[in-house]
Amino acid sequence: MKKIILTLILIFCSSTLISPVWAESEASADIISINLSDPGSSDHFTWADNELTITKGGFYILSGELSGRLKINISKDEDIFLSFNGLDISNASAEAIYIKKARSVTISLAEGSVNKLSSGSDESEQTDKNALYCTCPLTICGSGTLNITADIYNGIHCSSDLNIESGIINISSAHNAIKAQNILISGGKFTINAANKAMNSSEELTVTGGTFTLTCADDAVHAGSAISVEGGTFSINAGDDAFHSDSELYVKDGIINIASAYEGLEAHKIYISGGMLTIVTKDDGLNTGNEIDRSDLPGIFISGGDIYIYTEEDDGIDSNGDLLVSGGTLLVDGCSSQWASPLDWGGEYGGSITISEGTVWACGMANMAGHFTSDSLQCSVKFTFLSGYAAQDIITISTKDGEELYSHKMLRKGDSVVFSCDKLTAGESYLIKINDEEHEFIQESVSTQIKIK
C-alpha cells in the first residue's frame, strides 16, 4: 500500500509539493474514493444536509456532482491530499469548498479532468461567499482543469500561504479571483476575469512561471509587501494598476504585456533586471512614491530587461525619488501633453537621475522632459525640436561614418527626445536625421542638450 500511495503522489503532483511529514505519517493510510453524486458512508467523512465533511487526513480521490458544500475539518496535526477527478460542486448560499481545519492541504487536478466550483449565486445574503476558502497552507498542482465561478466574492481565498505549481485554472469572480496571505506561483495556465483584483496577496507575491491572462476592474497583481516576477507570461487588461506593491516590486525575468491599465507598475521601489515588458497605460507607465519619506526615497532602478512604455495622458516613468539606469533597453513613447514627461524623477526631494549603462530612447514634449545629469557614467543627449516633429516622422541618430545608433518612427507629435547608448562619446560629432533632413551635433559633455530648428 505504501508504494501505491507514493506512486499516486508522483503521478498526480510533483513529489516536492508533498510534505515529507505527510508522506511518512500517512503512507500507510487508505486511498478513499468519493463520488459526490452518491457518497455512501464511511468513517472518514460525514454526510448531512447536502454537506460532505471529511474528518480524517489522508489521500482522497473526488469526483461527481454536489449541490452543497465540501468541508474539510480534520486535526491540525494532519495533512490531506485531494485529487480532483471530474468533480462539480455548486453552492448558492455558501462556499463550494470550505477547508476549516488541517495542517496543510494539497489539491491535485487529475490529468484530463475538468473540475467546477461555483458559489454565491444567492444574493439575498451578502456575505463572504468564496468558491474555495482555506484556512491553512494550500497547494494546487496537476495537469487538469479547474473552473471557478464566484458570483458574490472571491474565487480562491486562502488565509494562509497559497502555492500553485500547475494546472489550468479559469476564474470568474465578483471580487478578487485569488486572495491569500502569501502567494507563490511556479506554473499553470490562468484565465481570470475579476470585478476587483485578479491576484491579491496581503503579504508577498512571487511568480516564477505560468501563463496569465488577467482582466480586472482594479489591480491585476497586488501585494501588501514585495512582488517578485521571476518568470511567466502575462497578458493584462486592468482598471487600475497592472502590478501594485505597497513596498518593493522586482521584475527579474518573464514576458509582461500590459494592453491597458491606469498605471503599469506601481510601488515604493521598482527594480527591473530582466524580462520583456510592453506597457500601455492611461497614466504613468512606471510610478513610485506617492507618499514621500526623505529618509527612504522611492526609486526606479533599471539594470536589465527590454522595456517599452506608451502612455496616453501622463508620464512614461514617474519616480518621486531616484531614477537610475545601469543596463537594459528602455523605449518610452510619451504623450503629447505639455504637462507630462517621458522621464520624471524627484529632484525636488533629493532624488537623482543617472545612467551608467544601457540604451534609452524617450520621446515626448520638452516642457517637462527630464534628462540624465552630468554625474552619469554614460553619455546622453536631450534634443529639443523647435518646430516639433509629427506622427510617423522617422528620427535616426548615427555616427559621422554612417553607423546607425538608433532609429524610431514617432507615433505622436512631440518636440523632445532623450537618447543614451554606450557608443556616445564626449567630444565626438554625430548626425541626427528627421526623415530626409540631417543635422550634425557634438556630444559636448556627458550630459548634452541640443536645440534643432
pLDDT at position 80, please? 97
Q: What is the dihedral of CA 169, 174, 178, 179, to 10 degrees?
A: -160
Q: For position 292, what pLDDT does the model report? A: 63
Predicted pLDDT of residue 127: 56
Task: Write down the pTM of the prediction.
Answer: 0.93
pLDDT at 202: 98
Q: What is the pLDDT of residue 123?
A: 58
Q: Give the pLDDT of residue 32.
A: 94
Q: How far is CA 69 from CA 72, 166, 174, 362, 423, in A?
A: 10, 25, 19, 55, 65
pLDDT computed for residue 3 by the predictor? 39
Burial class (CB in 10 A: 0-12, 13-18, 19+), 400: exposed
Task: Give the per-residue SS3 of the chain.
Answer: CHHHHHHHHHHHCCHHHCCHHHHHHHCCCCEEEEECCCCCCECCEEEECCEEEECCCEEEEEEEEEECEEEEECCCCCEEEEEEEEEEEEECCCCCEEEEECCEEEEEECCCCEEEEEECCCCCCCCCCCCEEECCCEEEEECCEEEEEECCCCCEEEEEEEEECCCEEEEEECCCCEEEEEEEECCCEEEEEECCCCEEECCCEEECCCEEEEEECCCCEEECCCEEEEEEEEEEEECCEEEEECCEEEEEEEEEEEEECCEEEEECEEEEEEEEEEEEECCCCEEECCCCCCCCCCEEEEEEEEEEEEECCCCCEEECCEEEEEEEEEEEECCCCCCCCCEECCHHHCCCEEEEEEEEEEEECCCCCCCCCCCCCCCEEEEEEEEEECCCCEEEEEECCCCEEEEEECCCCEEEEEEECCCCCCCCEEEEEECCEEEEEECCCCEEEEEEC
Q: CA 50 → CA 91, 172, 304, distances in Å?
A: 10, 24, 55
Q: What's the pLDDT score for residue 46?
A: 96
Residues of the chain with pLDDT under 50: 1-12, 14-28, 126
Q: What are the cell numbers at 47?
A: 454526510
Domain ranges of the chain: 2-351+367-373
**What span, in angstroms and rounded, lies between the C-alpha atoms of 83 and 71?**
15
Say what the pLDDT of residue 323 is. 97
Question: N- to C-terminal Cα distance for the chain?
Answer: 84
